[in-house]
Amino acid sequence: MEFKIERADFSRCISRIQGIVERKNTMPILANCLIKAGKTGIDIMATDLDITIIDRSPAKVKKTGNASLNARKLHEIFRELEEGEVEFKEVEATKVEIKASNFTCSLQGINPDEFPVLPTVEGFQFFEIESKVLAEVISKTIYAAATEEGRFTLNGIFMEKLEGNLLRFVATDGHRMAAIDRDVEGAKDLKLQAGIILPKKGMLELQKLIAGVEGKVSLGVKDNHIALKTGDTVLFMRIVDGEFPDYKRVIPEGNPVKVLIGRDEFLKSLKRTSALVDEKARAVKIFFSKEKMVIESSNPSYGVAKSESACEYQGPSLEIGFNDRYLFEILSTVSGGKIQMEMKDELSPVLFTIDTDTKYQCVIMPMRV
Amino acid sequence: MEFKIERADFSRCISRIQGIVERKNTMPILANCLIKAGKTGIDIMATDLDITIIDRSPAKVKKTGNASLNARKLHEIFRELEEGEVEFKEVEATKVEIKASNFTCSLQGINPDEFPVLPTVEGFQFFEIESKVLAEVISKTIYAAATEEGRFTLNGIFMEKLEGNLLRFVATDGHRMAAIDRDVEGAKDLKLQAGIILPKKGMLELQKLIAGVEGKVSLGVKDNHIALKTGDTVLFMRIVDGEFPDYKRVIPEGNPVKVLIGRDEFLKSLKRTSALVDEKARAVKIFFSKEKMVIESSNPSYGVAKSESACEYQGPSLEIGFNDRYLFEILSTVSGGKIQMEMKDELSPVLFTIDTDTKYQCVIMPMRV
């Protein structure tokens, strides 16, 4: 293997794959990337066995071949090199020499044949989706996904196809739920049967990858994998195996109590009380009455705080408890507009919607306070 | 105690004292600040018994008195309040009510009489020093101070008075040393005898306090304390008790080998090899020969890196080892210019100076590599 590549090109590829390479030392080869030098350029790949990323860059290849080198070290080296051409050359089996202006380095790799077999884009059923729509559905659901490793079917974003071109994305951790529908023209021929669960770690990587990408990206499904293509990069992730819970049954309907409050005002009011929320329980009490909403936090060690704001209110007075983080997270995903809360009583799930987007629904289970 | 104060005024004071209040719960009163409402304003004070900060703000005081409230909680509350007047009122013994626009809060304090006795500015011998000179002498020495708690006389910055108005600041951890002299006109009448050791934690607080302050600040000494005054804020710290080592004897003299290298070039060259420095040993080898300096790092798991730069060199070829962090830290405290290294052999201390400032001297003990 021998090739020359622009520092900026290699640097871009190697920094993109850093999120995937294994930091723990369970399988040393997973801390490495695989570099495949073909006739006209190189592919750089990394995998954690569930998520795989493949990046392509032009290069002047003198001798094709593969090498597997530590991805983090390559990243650190390239971060400090000056612009210009960098030469990679295999000098002994698994040993690669890197030469740049005023710099040489000899890196010990691992036999590239030991690298896991990686997925390829063949056979994937791709459809196009606006990058910013995909980024939005992730950021408006992923916070509600479970983080505990035990509940693996909740540890991701559920994607299902509704009528027409409508895609729905849902996440829940059992205490709250977020669901959003978006019309994706390219998805009209997509077949998903009962829906698929996209793993949280992979979706966080996907989020980073499409950040700042203008226009459309391609999303594809095949067997138990999905793939995302943007420019010269492909990200594969294994779909979570298992059944997503019946989230529809927690969306409350026909609620007698309705509140309408400005999102900014709600957020400010919540922040004003946050200093005295008990750090463990994280409970705030909200009192609703005609035209007024009072958020109260209390902390046995320090005291009590109350914050008031105006709201439009329909129904009998009500006192209800919430985890303040859950409220913060919902309010942080939207900007401006008015939040509508619909509820039955202090024990039943509460539906949160925003007047600027009727296709985004969040549910929080109240806390007993 | 009852007073009204502008949110911005209280917020500025309470955020300034956050670095001093105790995070650990050994003495609950040290997590609190003391608020003293006098006739025309309030004093807010915090202490960790070694370092004390006192801040003053105008306020409309209706009833004088003292209260002691949790400093972190007050900070968090004030961060979120809207601009405008905020009312403090003691409603029961040690219980204070805080009222702002749309917000009320009742805070449980501790009896203010339990607050430690604090130093006052009386009897201090103050002199004026340019804020940016003080900031510079701290940043150019503090990195060389010891961090281990055991070696308490090395855990600070030594200040001594030389001839005329010259002040010298020195820090060392036994492996490296940094010393800087500055002419401070205001210090001409200062008497320091053998010099004093200013504690590292206190100097870090002082550094934060004077960051961005234009013009002069006042530094004062009295018995076993120093005090810094800037605007309405006074910071006191207890001088470290003990004798500073004889740092002068590690400054090497009459070295046969001299190297001159651009500071930016040296830093870049060092960074290029940093990826392959062994994370534990942190050793880099430098080879000096006519007109060339080569920095080499090696890591048993990954490989070897070499970076070359031009330099002016006098003396026989030499190979010498350094902790790369020590080099980084020296180079980071200066900008531009040329670094001069003076050395005898690979085992003796090396003197680093910069051509733009002859009053700044650093010494590093080499490593055997």
Instruction: Evaluate if residue B272 carries a pLDDT over 90.
Output: yes
How far apart CA B353 and CA B270 sit, in angstroms, is 17
User: What's the mean pLDDT in B1-6?
Assistant: 98
**Dihedrals phi, psi of B351, to nearest 5 degrees:** -100, 125
How far apart CA B268 and CA A83 sit, in angstroms, is 13
Please indicate whether the domains covering A2-114 and A125-247 agree at the CATH topology level.
yes
Write out chain A residues lying below 8 Å of B108, CB-based.
Answer: 301-303
A28-49 per-position pLDDT tens digit: 999 999 999 999 999 999 999 9
Pick among B33, B261, B302 to test the A interface (most A CBs inside 10 A): B302
A242-277 per-position pLDDT tens digit: 999 999 999 999 899 999 999 999 999 999 999 999
Q: Which tokens go with A50?
A: 């569930």
Picking from A269, A303, A308, the nearest residue to B107 by CB comes out as A303
Is residue A265 a contact partner of residue A310, using CB atoms and an 8 Å limit?
A: yes
Chain B residue set in contact with A, beta carbons under 8 Å: 70, 73, 76-77, 79-82, 95, 102-108, 268-269, 271-276, 299, 301-309
A229-246 per-position pLDDT tens digit: 999 999 999 999 999 999
Residue range A125-247, CATH number = 3.10.150.10
Please give the pLDDT value at position B150. 77
With an 8 Å Cβ cutoff, are B73 and A268 in contact? no
Instruction: Evaluate if residue A143 carries a pLDDT over 90.
Output: yes
Is residue A153 a contact partner of residue A171, using CB atoms and an 8 Å limit?
A: no
Torsion angle of C-alpha atoms B331, B336, B337, B341, degrees rounded to 10: 20
Chain A: nearest CA to B338, how far in angstroms?
Answer: 19
| pLDDT bucket at A344, cuts 50 / 70 / 90 | very high
Q: B104 to chain A: nearest residue by CA?
A: A306
Q: Which residues contact A361 (CB under 8 A, 6 or more apart)?
A: A178, A179, A180, A251, A351, A352, A353
Q: What is the mean pLDDT of chain B?
A: 95
Please give the pLDDT value at position B323. 98
Chain B: nearest CA to A335, how far in angstroms?
Answer: 18
User: What's the mean pLDDT in A1-16?
Assistant: 97
User: What's the mean pLDDT in B101-116?
Assistant: 97
Write out chain A residues lying below 8 Å of B70, CB-based.
Answer: 301-302
Cβ-Cβ pairs closer than 8 A, A with B, add up to: 94
**Containing H/E element for A207?**
helix A200-210
| DSSP codes of every residue in B212-266 | T--SEEEEEEETTEEEEEETTEEEEEEPBPS----GGGGS--S-SEEEEEEHHHH
Q: Assign B150 to helix, strand or coil.
A: coil
Q: Which of B54, B190, B195 is nearest to B129 (CA)?
A: B190
Q: A32 to chain B: nearest residue by CA?
A: B302
Please give the pLDDT value at position B151. 83
Picking from A80, A273, A307, the nearest residue to B271 by CB comes out as A80
User: What's the mean pLDDT in B114-133?
Assistant: 96
B133-162 per-position pLDDT tens digit: 999 999 999 999 998 777 889 999 999 999
**What ipTM describes this predicted complex?**
0.89
- Return the domain boundaries, chain B: 2-114, 125-247, 251-364
Q: What is the mean pLDDT of chain A?
A: 95
How far apart CA B348 and CA A135 sit, in angstroms, is 58
Is residue B194 a contact partner of residue B160, using CB atoms and an 8 Å limit?
A: yes
Instruction: Evaluate if residue B91 carries a pLDDT over 90.
Output: yes
Chain B: nearest CA to A305, how far in angstroms?
Answer: 4
Instruction: Evaluate if residue B8 carries a pLDDT over 80.
Output: yes
| pLDDT bucket at A191, cuts 50 / 70 / 90 | confident
Residue/partner pairs of B247-252 with CB below 8 Å, 24 or more apart: B247/B158, B247/B170, B247/B172, B247/B177, B247/B179, B250/B172, B250/B177, B250/B349, B250/B363, B250/B365, B251/B177, B251/B179, B251/B349, B251/B351, B251/B361, B251/B363, B252/B342, B252/B343, B252/B344, B252/B348, B252/B349, B252/B350, B252/B351, B252/B363
Is residue A73 a contact partner of residue A66, using CB atoms and an 8 Å limit?
A: no
Instruction: Evaluate if residue B25 carries a pLDDT over 90.
Output: no
Is residue B51 a contact partner of residue B236, using CB atoms and an 8 Å limit?
A: yes
Is residue A33 a contact partner of residue A17, using CB atoms and an 8 Å limit?
A: yes
The sheet carrying A216-222 orders its strands as A65-70, A32-37, A41-47, A51-58, A233-238, A225-230, A216-222, A125-130
How far apart CA B35 and CA B86 sit, in angstroms, is 15
Q: B81 to chain A: nearest residue by CA?
A: A272
Is residue A122 a contact partner of residue A159, using CB atoms and an 8 Å limit?
A: no
A 10 A CB-CB count for A292 gives: 13
Is residue B151 a contact partner of residue B174, using CB atoms and an 8 Å limit?
A: yes
Q: Which residues contact A97 (CB under 8 A, 6 or more apart)?
A: A87, A88, A89, A90, A91, A104, A105, A106, A107
**Dihedrals phi, psi of A284, to nearest 5 degrees:** -120, 150
Q: Which of B180, B139, B185, B187 is nearest to B161 (CA)?
A: B187
How far apart CA B22 and CA A73 sit, in angstroms, is 39
Please give the pLDDT value at position B23. 74
Write out chain A residues lying below 8 Å of B92, CB-based.
Answer: none
What's A116's DSSP letter?
Answer: P
Q: With respect to CATH, is domain B2-114 assigned 1.10.10.60?
A: no
Q: What percent of chain B has pLDDT over 90?
A: 92
Sign of CA dihedral A248, A254, A258, A261: positive
Q: Which position has the higher pLDDT, A148 or A257? A: A257
What is the C-alpha radius of gyration for chain A, rounded to an integer number of angstroms? 25
Q: With respect to CATH, is domain B251-364 assigned 3.30.479.30?
A: no
Chain B: nearest CA to A31, how far in angstroms?
Answer: 12
With an 8 Å Cβ cutoff, are A268 and B305 in contact? no
Q: What percent of chain A has pLDDT over 70?
A: 100
Name the residue type at position A236: F
For chain A, the first-to-last Cα distance in angstroms comes to 66
User: What's the mean pLDDT in B199-214?
Assistant: 95
How far apart CA B80 and CA B74 sit, in angstroms, is 10
B69-87 per-position pLDDT tens digit: 999 999 999 999 999 999 9
Name the residue type at position B176: R
With an 8 Å Cβ cutoff, are A73 and B276 in contact? yes
Pick among B96, B268, B297, B307 to test the A interface (most A CBs inside 10 A): B307
User: What's the mean pLDDT in B29-44?
Assistant: 96
Please give the pLDDT value at position B22. 76
Q: Assign B350 to helix, strand or coil.
A: strand
The residue count for chain B: 369
Q: Which of A140, A174, A157 is nearest to A365 (CA)?
A: A174
What Å distances lie between residue A191 and A95, A127, A156, A247, CA to CA? 46, 11, 20, 21
How far apart CA A6 and CA B210 sit, in angstroms, is 45
| pLDDT bucket at A291, cuts 50 / 70 / 90 | confident
Please give the pLDDT value at position B224. 94
What's B113's DSSP letter?
Answer: G
A 10 A CB-CB count for B52 gives: 23
Instruction: Evaluate if residue A154 carries a pLDDT over 90.
Output: yes
Please give the pLDDT value at position B310. 95
Chain A: nearest CA to B162, how far in angstroms?
Answer: 42
Please give the pLDDT value at position B277. 97
How far apart CA A29 and CA B29 sit, in angstroms, is 53
User: What's the mean pLDDT in B192-198?
Assistant: 92
User: What's the mean pLDDT in A187-191?
Assistant: 90
With an 8 Å Cβ cutoff, are B108 and A301 in contact? yes
